[in-house]
Amino acid sequence: MTIYLTELDDSDYTFPSPYEALDEPNGLLAFGGDLSPERILTGYHNGIFPWYGPGEPILWWSPSPRAVFDPRTFKPAKSLKKFHRKTPYRVSINKATREVITLCAKLRPAEETWLNQEMRDAYSELALQGHCHSVEVWLEDKLIGGLYGIQVGKLFCGESMFSLETNASKIALWYLCRHFTAHGGQLIDCQVMNPHLESLGAFEMERDEFLDSLLSYREQSISAGCFDTQWLTLPSEETQ
């Protein structure tokens, strides 16, 4: 059977409907175009993201099911809470976004080559424009963990995370969930499930449900100051 994919027009940021995505490979929707901020944001606002390997054109995806976290109900493991009480990690937002993106790329397994220089530059530019945000974990003055992603209204689209010290990326996620919830955030998209995300409490959402949530949340605003550069703290009851 011949399968035809939509080739994106360089002068038009329109995407095909995510419901036209292939079942195999799961979620592949279109190819081509560019990684301009306008195109990437249009994709995210429609449940579509870029992901491609060396020698491939830019590929655009909208898989089903989708891996997500509900930041309002995220529960850190008891062992993580105990670890946090004994460890002098500090957590910030948007103090080192480009560095987080770079370290996420450098620390990927060798076979995961999608976070190339073109992708890193694109998300760094989105950070400068106020659309891409990072959570950083520090031990003294050393950046030891973090994550980054794109904010779409009350939805945070997580892209990647890294850890140089024990539990650093888990703590970044924990702080993000609490901080995002406090400012009205409703959902964190993680794209595709893997064992690590599942162990942290991610669950799967079918495409219909995810796109319905996206349609609602993208039009809603979180409260002011959520992604201002700042140090983060946890609610007092969680530090006990």
For residue 55, pLDDT beyond 90: no
3-state helix, strand and coil shares in percent for the chain, rounded to the nearest 5: 30, 25, 45
CATH assignment of 6-63, given 1.10.10.60, 3.10.180.10, 3.30.70.3550, 3.40.50.10320? Answer: 3.30.70.3550
Q: How confident is the model at residue 53 (pLDDT cuts 50, 70, 90)?
A: confident
The whole-number pLDDT of residue 114 equals 75
- pLDDT above 70 covers a percentage of the chain that reads 96
The whole-number pLDDT of residue 237 equals 78
Averaged pLDDT for residues 64-79: 96
Query: Does the pTM of the predicted model rise above 0.85?
Result: yes
Q: How confident is the model at residue 142 (pLDDT cuts 50, 70, 90)?
A: very high
- CA 175 – CA 159 distance, rounded (Å): 16
- Give domain limits for the chain: 6-63, 67-238
DSSP per position, 99-157: HHHHHHHHTS-TT---S-HHHHHHHHHHHHTTSEEEEEEEETTEEEEEEEEEEETTEEE
The whole-number pLDDT of residue 120 equals 95
For residue 202, pLDDT beyond 60: yes
- pLDDT above 90 covers a percentage of the chain that reads 87
Helix (H, G, I), strand (E, B), or coil: what is residue 79?
helix
The whole-number pLDDT of residue 163 equals 96
The whole-number pLDDT of residue 110 equals 53
Q: How confident is the model at residue 137 (pLDDT cuts 50, 70, 90)?
A: very high
Of 147, 141, 138, nearest to 165 (Cα)? 138
For residue 161, pLDDT beyond 60: yes
For 23-27, 33-37, 233-237, which range has the lowest pLDDT when averaged over its residues? Answer: 233-237
In CATH, the number for domain 67-238 is: 3.40.630.70
Q: How confident is the model at residue 113 (pLDDT cuts 50, 70, 90)?
A: low
For residue 2, pLDDT beyond 60: no
Q: What tokens appear for 22 in the block?
A: 């292939």
